[in-house]
């Protein structure tokens, strides 16, 4: 990595577009599950654990009345979490048309699973590529935001340097000084370690597999080419599409170029161990049922699901500058 860019050859623009489209089509095609289908999912406890981690991040960093930007919001699975945090306004953006439609249905309380009171905050939903579009042009009337969230999606921006930069430029342009950026994404250190421990270019267990192409046969990743390191990711009942490695130390340096300073980075295992000690989050875990009785073990999460959670990390960044005085 070197300041100012220039990281070797970029992929062709159209190839890039089609990769983003593949990701979008994959998520667009995923239909809403019934409650029964969800409870029977082989990764139901992992999904609950992921929801617990996102809830903890939101409870730690969102404040009542906050203006929220949810990048790659998907089907709006976090709307209830934001409602519990009593936020004042919500903008969700996603590239997948199908997901934005489902998100709108969920916001309007129209689904069977969603027989609940309406959300207490107004919302706006936008369908676009968050890593290509200049979001400040769409959102100049809504900005600045107090908090931005990008859950399980920022790695889709690391296919090229231009996209990774556009992602961070969008966050930086739209957050107020002192605003917070929370997120979750794959932990490149763990993925590369697992790859090097495996015999071939594939590894996984009963619920996931990751596969690298022959171009990585030597399992070497030169620091001069940190973008576009593609692998295929399959997670039962969830994901089946190309993803990109995000070397975290370079992500941190790149974010600094956009005035975003690192506050926290924890692998999910460390995150669980640390925050499960806090009574309010133990109680939340008990209610969600991810770890059975809320003990710090895997009493209901299977060993294979627990291994998948080790592939992820949570991060928090803060936009430089002083928050405006109230």
Q: Which stretch binds ligand SAM (CB under 6 A): 1-9, 10-18, 32-40, 152-160?
A: 152-160
| Residue number closest to ligand SAM, CB atom | 74
The CA-atom distances, in angstroms, between 172 and each of 62, 146, 168 are: 17, 11, 6
Give the residue with the Cβ less far from ligand SAM, 73 or 291. 73
Q: How many residues bind ligand SAM (CB under 6 A)?
A: 19
Closest CB 78 distance from ligand SAM, rounded Å: 6
- Residue 296: phi and psi, rounded to 5, are -85, 60
Identify whether the C-beta of residue 123 lies closer than 8 Å to the C-beta of residue 107.
yes
Closest CB 135 distance from ligand SAM, rounded Å: 10
Identify whether the C-beta of residue 286 lies closer than 8 Å to the C-beta of residue 294.
yes
52-111 residues in contact with ligand SAM (CB under 6 A) are 72-74, 77, 94-96, 99
Closest CB 74 distance from ligand SAM, rounded Å: 3
Closest CB 129 distance from ligand SAM, rounded Å: 4
* φ/ψ bin of 289: left (φ > 0), alpha (ψ from -120 to 50), beta (otherwise): left
Give the H/E segment covering residue 37. Answer: helix 35-39
Query: Alpha-carbon dihedral of residues 31, 34, 36, 37, nearest 10 degrees?
Result: 0
How many residues appear in the chain? 326
The answer to whether residue 195 forms part of the interface with ligand SAM (CB under 6 A) is no
Distance CA(145)–CA(101), nearest Å, equals 23
The answer to whether residue 130 forms part of the interface with ligand SAM (CB under 6 A) is yes
The answer to whether residue 152 forms part of the interface with ligand SAM (CB under 6 A) is yes
Q: Which stretch binds ligand SAM (CB under 6 A): 136-144, 146-154, 192-200, 310-318?
A: 146-154
Give the residue with the Cβ less far from ligand SAM, 81 or 266. 81
- From 52, 119, 131, 306, residue interacting with ligand SAM (rule: CB under 6 A): 131
Closest CB 312 distance from ligand SAM, rounded Å: 11
The answer to whether residue 174 forms part of the interface with ligand SAM (CB under 6 A) is no
Residue with token string 């934001």: 82
The CA-atom distances, in angstroms, between 49 and each of 56, 58, 162 are: 11, 14, 33
The answer to whether residue 170 forms part of the interface with ligand SAM (CB under 6 A) is no
Name the E strands within the chain. Answer: 67-71, 89-94, 123-127, 145-151, 175-186, 202-204, 208-212, 230-235, 239-244, 260-267, 312-319
The answer to whether residue 129 forms part of the interface with ligand SAM (CB under 6 A) is yes
What is the DSSP secondary structure assignment for residue 42, as one 8-state letter?
T
What is the DSSP secondary structure assignment for residue 316, as one 8-state letter?
E
The answer to whether residue 153 forms part of the interface with ligand SAM (CB under 6 A) is yes
The answer to whether residue 308 forms part of the interface with ligand SAM (CB under 6 A) is no
Give the residue with the Cβ less far from ligand SAM, 23 or 85. 23
Q: Which stretch binds ligand SAM (CB under 6 A): 40-48, 80-88, 123-131, 202-210?
A: 123-131
The answer to whether residue 187 forms part of the interface with ligand SAM (CB under 6 A) is no
Give the H/E segment covering residue 197. Answer: helix 188-197
- From 16, 24, 48, 107, residue interacting with ligand SAM (rule: CB under 6 A): 24
Positions in the binding site for ligand SAM (CB under 6 A):
20, 23-24, 27, 72-74, 77, 94-96, 99, 129-131, 151-153, 156
């Amino acid at each position: 990595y070197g300041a100012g860019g220039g990281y070797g050859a970029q992929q062709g623009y159209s190839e890039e577009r089609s990769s983003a489209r593949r990701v979008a089509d994959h998520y667009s095609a995923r239909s809403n599950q019934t409650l029964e289908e969800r409870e029977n999912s082989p990764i139901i406890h992992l999904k609950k654990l992921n929801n617990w981690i996102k809830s903890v991040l939101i409870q730690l960093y969102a404040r009542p009345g906050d203006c929220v930007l949810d990048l790659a919001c998907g089907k709006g699975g976090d709307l209830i979490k934001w409602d519990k945090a009593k936020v004042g306004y919500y903008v969700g953006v996603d590239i997948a048309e199908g997901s934005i439609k489902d998100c709108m249905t969920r916001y309007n309380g129209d689904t069977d699973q969603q027989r609940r009171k309406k959300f207490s905050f107004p919302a706006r939903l936008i369908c676009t590529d968050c890593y290509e579009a200049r979001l400040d042009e769409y959102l100049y009337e809504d900005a600045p935001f107090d908090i931005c969230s990008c859950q399980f999606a920022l790695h889709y921006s690391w296919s090229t340097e231009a996209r990774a930069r556009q992602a961070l430029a969008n966050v930086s342009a739209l957050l107020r000084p002192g605003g917070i950026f929370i997120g979750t994404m794959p932990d490149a250190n763990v993925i590369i370690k697992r790859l090097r421990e495996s015999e071939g270019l594939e590894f996984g267990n009963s619920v996931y597999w990751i596969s690298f192409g022959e171009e990585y046969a030597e399992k070497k990743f030169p620091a001069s080419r940190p973008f576009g390191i593609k692998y295929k990711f399959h997670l039962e009942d969830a994901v089946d599409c190309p993803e990109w490695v995000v070397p975290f130390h370079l992500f941190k340096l790149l974010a600094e170029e956009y005035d975003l300073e690192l506050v926290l980075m924890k692998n999910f295992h460390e995150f669980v161990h640390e925050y499960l000690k806090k009574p309010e989050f133990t109680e939340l875990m008990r209610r969600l049922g991810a770890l059975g009785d809320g003990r710090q073990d895997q009493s209901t999460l299977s060993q294979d699901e627990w291994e998948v959670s080790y592939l992820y990390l949570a991060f928090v960044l803060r936009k430089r500058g002083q928050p405006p005085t109230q």
